[in-house]
Amino acid sequence: MVLQTSQNGCRKILQKEPLSSLPHEFENEIMKDKAKKLLANYSEYRKVPGDGSCFYRSFIYSYLEQLVKVSHEEELRLLGALEPMWEKFQRLHLPGSYSDLHDAFVGFILECMEQKQKLSVRGYQEWLFQESQNEQKFANSENIQQIS
């Protein structure tokens, strides 16, 4: 669920909530029914403030949250998939901060891989949630330059 936009420093990713509470968030009966159907496959969800980057932030967060359950080969596949995009961008000779974003994202994936080795599954999930509260790592892309 996406919350109303808030640019005043509120959290970018919120704690998990029981999915059974989601239908109560809607007044529209169709949306309530759709939310109830999700209960067949899911038990929890996270609210994410809508700010223009919320889809990408929540998608990446969810992927990184699942990273703890995958093999080292999948981690390497993810890193390998980023390289062709980086090479294509370089050939375009466009100005921009994709270089900073790429470096920050790869660096964070490597950090996740390191934490995965050191922590339990629960410990990794807690660490990732704490990292998600770091405004510089999970904020809008213009802040990415600050962490490179």
pLDDT tens per residue, range 129-144: 999 887 666 554 444 3
For residue 57 the two structure tokens come to: 């932030």
Confirm if 13 and 58 have CB atoms less than 8 A apart: yes
Whether residue 146 is predicted with pLDDT greater than 60 in this model: the reply is: no
pTM for the predicted model, two decimal places? 0.71
Q: What percentage of the chain has pLDDT greater than the value 70?
A: 81
- The residue type found at 131 is E
Look at residue 9 in the predicted model and tell me its pLDDT. Answer: 57
Q: Measured in whole angstroms, how far is the alpha carbon of residue 75 from the centre of its chain?
A: 15
Report DSSP state, residue 23: G
| Residue found under tokens 């599954």 | 121
Specify the higher pLDDT residue, 77 or 90: 77
- Going through 11-92 in order, the beta strands assigned E by DSSP cover 16-18, 44-46, 48-49
Domain boundaries, the chain: 1-51, 63-148
* Mean pLDDT of the region 89-104: 76
pLDDT in the model for residue 10: 64
- So what's the pLDDT on residue 133? 86
Question: In terms of pLDDT, which residue wins out, 143 or 29?
Answer: 29
